[in-house]
Amino acid sequence: MVMMNFLTERLPDSINVQGVEYPIQTDFRTILRYSAQMDTIEEDNLTEIISCMKIVIYRDFPDDISSAISALNWFIKCGREEKRNRPSNKLLGVNSNQPFDFFIDGELIWSAFRRNDVYGIDLLEVPHLHWWKFIAMLDDLPEDTRLHRIMDYRTIDTTNKNLSKEMRDVYSALQRYYKIRAVKDQRNEELIKALKEGRDPTPYL
């Protein structure tokens, strides 16, 4: 796959798999549903993978599943190539924590886009927003949005010697509070809590 010029070329509405164009659904909500479902599927469960990919691919389905997944991943990455020689996290003053999650931070993303001084777009009402446009706008959210501030809390390097002990304690507490936990981890925590409190653990099994 080659990198496209966002400003001069039409945004893709299909993926190329071994020379054949397969029309896809490009709305950001469809891609989010696909990505969320793919995260729950085991790598060797071909039946579920194909079923999940049909969320995005319109009609005919590629025979080469591996190539189809690669093409979809190219689309989800907005045709961007991995940049080399990125400055180290230490130099940037950040850690390796996940900065945000589309599911957990959904309300914050919606409210940031909804602000009139940002985009004034209601993501719940907009009929269609191309995935590439959505990601470009998400990446450019101003620093004064609550989402941006929470992302900073999650990723600041609390071992930075330039921070006072008081600030390190504050940021460490904020990181614990806003930490993104996998659904499985959250369920395990709730299960342990239910057992400790003598409650029925069945809902968390």
The model's pTM is 0.79
Per-residue pLDDT at 50: 84
On the CB side of 19, CA atoms within 13 Å amount to 0
At 191, which helix (H) or strand (E)?
helix 183-196
More confident residue, 125 or 92: 125
For the ranges 168-172, 192-196, 197-201, the maximum mean pLDDT occurs at: 168-172
Residue matched to tokens 């992302």: 151
- Taking only the tens place, the pLDDT of each residue in 93-111 is 788 888 989 989 999 999 9
- Taking only the tens place, the pLDDT of each residue in 128-186 is 999 999 999 999 999 999 999 999 999 999 888 888 999 989 999 999 999 887 654 55
DSSP 64-75: -HHHHHHHHHHH
Per-residue pLDDT at 193: 63
Per-chain mean pLDDT for the chain: 85
More confident residue, 144 or 198: 144
Question: What band does 204 get if pLDDT is binned at 50, 70 and 90?
Answer: very low
Query: In one letter, which amino acid is 60?
Result: D
Per-residue pLDDT at 205: 47
Q: Are 57 and 24 in contact (CB under 8 A)?
A: yes
Question: What band does 54 get if pLDDT is binned at 50, 70 and 90?
Answer: confident
